[in-house]
Amino acid sequence: MARALYPGTFDPIHNGHIDIAVRASVLFDEVIVAVYDAPPKKLLFDTADRCDLARAAFEHVPNIQVVTYEGLTVECARELKADVIVRGLRNVADFEYEQQIGWANSELAPGIELCCLFCSSEYAYLSATILKEVANLGGECGAWAPAYVLDALGRKLERPIRNNAPKLYLRHEDKLVHRD
């Protein structure tokens, strides 16, 4: 049985993250989405909100659970008995970052493998930063995050968020999983 840890800031979770986690849930028996509690960067959402939004994203996927963690990712992986750390790759910059931190992590925790999945092409340019900036400037965000994430962004930014996307579905083990 293989358990994967998918760590990140998820400020907030978006369709690129969701795509990676759901694809990992097909590859591994269990996926633990680990929301980093105190990253060294300024965040829009607090930890509880980032966790709640992530939980809403995966409530229909039985082998994905969401936790928060502080400190070293490899310590979290060890404590949760994860075999693998999953990360998403969008571009060369992600690759170089993940390669470096992956080697550091394998020095710190030799038994834990790194599994990098290429992002799906439609999310190659998407980041939480782009999502927040476009949302704040009134651009269309419907293809980038589920409706409840956009609603939460609207409350946080105190402005309406444009969402003209049709309802989206994800495929999980041959079932269509409603994502909004």
Gap between the Cα atoms of 174 and 160, Å rounded: 35
DSSP state of 92: H
- Per CB under 6 A, which of residues 127..156 are in contact with ligand ADP? 127-128
Q: Residue 37 interacts with ligand ADP (CB under 6 A)?
A: no
- Which range of residues in 125-133, 152-160, 163-171, 172-180 is near ligand ADP by CB under 6 A? 125-133
Judged by beta carbon, residue 88 or residue 146, the one nearer ligand ADP is: 88
Binding of residue 179 to ligand ADP (CB under 6 A): no
Q: Which is nearer to ligand ADP, 16 or 146 (CB)?
A: 16
Least distance in Å: CB of 89 to ligand ADP? Answer: 6
**How far are the Cα atoms of 17, 61, 126, 148 from residue 26, in angstroms, in the given order?**
15, 10, 22, 24
Residue 12 in contact with residue 128, Cβ under 8 Å?
yes
Please state, as a whole number, how many other Cβ atoms lie within 10 Å of the Cβ of residue 123. Answer: 19
Q: Which of 28, 45, 69, 123 is close enough to bind ligand ADP by CB under 6 A?
A: 123
